[in-house]
Structure 1
Amino acid sequence: MTLNQPPTPHLAAEDPDVARLVEAEAQRQQDTIRLIASENYVSAAVLEATGSVFTNKYSEGYAGKRYYEGQQLVDPLEELAIARAKAVFGAEHVNVQPYSGSPANLAIYLAVLKPGETVLGMGLPSGGHLTHGWSVSATGKWFNAVHYGVRKETGRVDLDEVRDLALRERPKLIFCGGTAVPRTIDFAGFAAIAKEVGAVLAADVAHIAGLIAGGAHPSPVGHADIISTTTHKTLRGPRGAMLMSTEEWAKPLDKAVFPGLQGGPHNHTTAAIAVALKEAATPEFSAYAHQIVANASALADALLERGFDLVSGGTDNHLILADLSPKGIGGKPAAKALDRAGIELNYNTVPFDPRKPFDPSGIRIGTAAVTTRGLGTAEMPLIADFIDRAVAAEGDEPALDAIAAEVRALLASFPVPA
């Protein structure tokens, strides 16, 4: 019996080497507690759309203004995805063509700034994203990037500090949001600062888009001029991205995506985005989004009870950031031990981390994927116990293998949805 859904009989016949890897990955995803905050399980319908014949079609341009013929079905597909995104998020304008989150953010820079102009974003060590102006990114090399962080005492953004920095630096673009931010983003507060200094506010909601769609996190619509998001993570769609904005920024953003940064859109991804957005408009998805947050809160509480030091003391969303310094272990060896124990997450820097980024002090945890599998608050203390025991057992392979067996036994009651 194949675990991968939909089945891949043609792949198995034509390329058994790749088919074996696909099947092994399906087995791995079945057997592990997946806590990487940027990962999830998509529905079989999303997978089918991703693998559809739309992958055969090239479609540079936008609906009604293509550079190739044969767009009779591509145009309504893209328009359907856009209409569904507008309905789910309430945005005035949507572009579903960005290939992923980083190119979507690059399109914002191209639409708003000239090289050398100032952008204010959250620093990478505090939870921001590379594309928010960090030095190793093109966004930090081509623009004058300044950064805000979090308070050491609270692990939270201090908007008074952000305002002071904005007034001093006068950025033309401000980013809010990030990749390791466990607390609710104050979009209204950022919008007030952006208005005061005459900046464009961009909200990067890649991690929390599904929570916003399900009503489990406040929306940036009505506060941010431009919104970028990936379509996977909590939104539970394919690996892609979207840009949303007010009408004022519609044309500049569209021109920045194409022809500014990309050629033809990935139409099979657009199809899958449309499917995911239809799913996101359902009451079941809203219940799922709220359960993600409930699970994260329960897991955070259980980790605190076991002596883990959590950045900001907990979480408001799907994401938990733990500083392992009190446990006497770095994030990287802990993550590798956890992987051996059947618990998949990533090592991560924490604010004011004294260690190097490739060997940081922390781990990042997310509850989107386990929630999709049906695990609830009752299972979160079990997961916390697995994490605690695995971190303590780092280097003890038999002990880690024993935990992995317990993990598989637990997950047998929560099959991957197909």
Structure 2
Amino acid sequence: MLPEGNLSATDPEVHAAIDGEEQRQEQNLEMIASENHVSEAVLEAQGSVLTNKYAEGYPGARYYGGCEHVDTVEQLAIDRAKELFGAEHANVQPHSGTQANMAVYFAMLDPGDKILSLDLTHGGHLSHGHHVNFSGQYYEVEQYGVDPETGYINYDDLAAHAEEFDPDLIVSGSSAYPREFDYERIGEVADAVDAYHMADIAHVTGLIAGGVHTNPVGDADFVTASTHKTIRAGRGGMILTTEEHAEAIDKAIFPGAQGGPLMHNIAGKAAGFGEALTDEFDEYAKQVVANAKALGEVFTDRGMSLVSDGTDKHLLLVDLRESHPDITGKDAEERLESVGITVNKNTVPGESRSPFVTSGIRVGTPALTTRGFTESEMETVGHHIVDLLDNPDDDELAEDVSADVDELCAEYPIYE
């Protein structure tokens, strides 16, 4: 018999914190580009009894008994991932996108091997070789950047850098680069210097699944992903690769880097991938990009400076130095959060401030699109953001914006 009681009765402190977070999400406009709101079906899968089951190994080859049902769940996640992205092999066990990257490095590189990746301040990610991360401590890393004039990656410069550095692995992908990567060109550069190409699609997994962003499968030897951002599936990571590298990748995850897989999260991945196979999800992905472009137009029209002057995907990187030189990214984040708009401070190309302060903000549209926002609502929110930054000490304005945020949240609830 299951233990009696519920969380509110057995642990009111944890219950209160969870309840508070639920209310925060419902009553705030979530615009952190890496966050989203999953469906109730995904929540149900992630909160299921699968959390009780150890399943070290892979479907059909477990180290424990009693895995017939979790085998079904994991195989569904694998098959749906392969269908969504046209991949030969999928590993859905990584606990995060960083764990997925770690597995590729461990599978294909030796300590001291060379990685060429996008600079963190130009939109890259810690796990692509930053010195505070394991990836920068175990490997020799050099980084490419964006053109300071255009904000775009210069692929001729990247190719020249690769020719000089002779990397063993080239990483494409980012956490704050607002433009699509030319995966085919980077694959050609990698081939020219006899390097592997790893495409980290953590942020654009859902946009690729929805058909509105280029798919790197076929141009990259390895594709790593987060499964909870734009694709709205169970929290975690995933690796896509060819049959040639399948065994090495699987061994790098288990037993190489992880023990028992989180089967409740894998169930959430399977459920979310199933949703991503629908026409409705394709429409969602299109709307995410349309909303980002509409938001970018408001910012530009109001005098804000955007890195690369816009976006191809779900996020905008706002450089405050020209339009608001006295406001840091940290200031902007706090100002917006005070009225219920959640963004994150972010470094920008040529950054001179600390990463805890920054000169920019990253603004995303996935979560608001999930709530049902279209271009009209995004334009309203965009004007609110600029108004608040233009008038940082206007308390009456802040009260008016906060009231409008409350109305928008009530009109577009996350969960009924």
TM bucket normalised to smaller? over 0.9
The answer to whether the Cα contact below 8 Å between 1:337 and 1:395 also exists between their aligned partners in 2 is: no
Q: What's the counterpart of residue 181 of structure 1? A: 177
Q: What's the counterpart of residue 344 of structure 2? A: 346
Q: How far 1:13 sits from its partner (Å)?
A: 2.2
1:271 aligns with 2:248: no
Partner of residue 356 from structure 1, selected from 354, 357, 378: 354
Q: How far 1:223 sits from its partner (Å)?
A: 0.5
Q: What's the counterpart of residue 13 of structure 1? A: 9
Q: Distance in 1 between matches of 2:124 and 2:31?
A: 19
Q: What's the counterpart of residue 31 of structure 1? A: 27
Partner of residue 375 from structure 1, selected from 348, 373, 376: 373
Q: Distance in 1 between matches of 2:17 and 2:60?
A: 41
Which secondary structure state, in structure 1, belongs to the residue aligned with residue 411 of structure 2?
A: coil
Q: Distance in 2 between matches of 1:71 and 1:283?
A: 33
Q: How far 1:392 sits from its partner (Å)?
A: 2.9
Q: Distance in 2 between matches of 1:416 and 1:304?
A: 29
Which secondary structure state, in structure 1, belongs to the residue aligned with residue 132 of structure 2?
A: coil
Partner of residue 57 from structure 1, selected from 53, 64, 80: 53
Q: Distance in 2 between matches of 1:417 and 1:211?
A: 23
Deviating 4+ runs (over 6 angstroms): none
1:68 aligns with 2:64: yes
Which secondary structure state, in structure 1, belongs to the residue aligned with residue 32 of structure 2?
A: coil
Q: How far 1:399 sits from its partner (Å)?
A: 3.9
Which secondary structure state, in structure 2, belongs to the residue aligned with residue 233 of structure 1?
A: coil
Q: How far 1:247 sits from its partner (Å)?
A: 1.1
Question: How many aligned positions are there?
Answer: 410
Q: Distance in 2 between matches of 1:368 and 1:184?
A: 16
**Amino acid aligned to 1:371:** T
The answer to whether the Cα contact below 8 Å between 1:38 and 1:234 also exists between their aligned partners in 2 is: yes
Q: Distance in 1 between matches of 2:158 and 2:139?
A: 19
Partner of residue 390 from structure 1, selected from 366, 388, 394: 388
Q: Distance in 2 between matches of 1:396 and 1:97?
A: 49
Partner of residue 333 from structure 2, selected from 331, 335, 351: 335
Partner of residue 198 from structure 1, selected from 194, 197, 207: 194
Pair 53,253 (structure 1): closer, same or farther in 2 beyond 3 Å: same
Q: How far 1:417 sits from its partner (Å)?
A: 3.9
Q: Distance in 1 between matches of 2:234 and 2:74?
A: 15
What percentage of aligned pairs have identical amino acids? 48
Q: What's the counterpart of residue 320 of structure 2? A: 324
Q: Distance in 1 between matches of 2:171 and 2:395?
A: 43
Deviations 1:161-185 (A, max 9, x none): 1100111111111100110010011
Cα-Cα RMSD: 1.2
Unaligned runs of 5+ in 2: none
TM-score (norm 1): 0.96
**Amino acid aligned to 1:344:** T
Q: Distance in 1 between matches of 2:388 and 2:15?
A: 32
Unaligned runs of 5+ in 1: 1-8
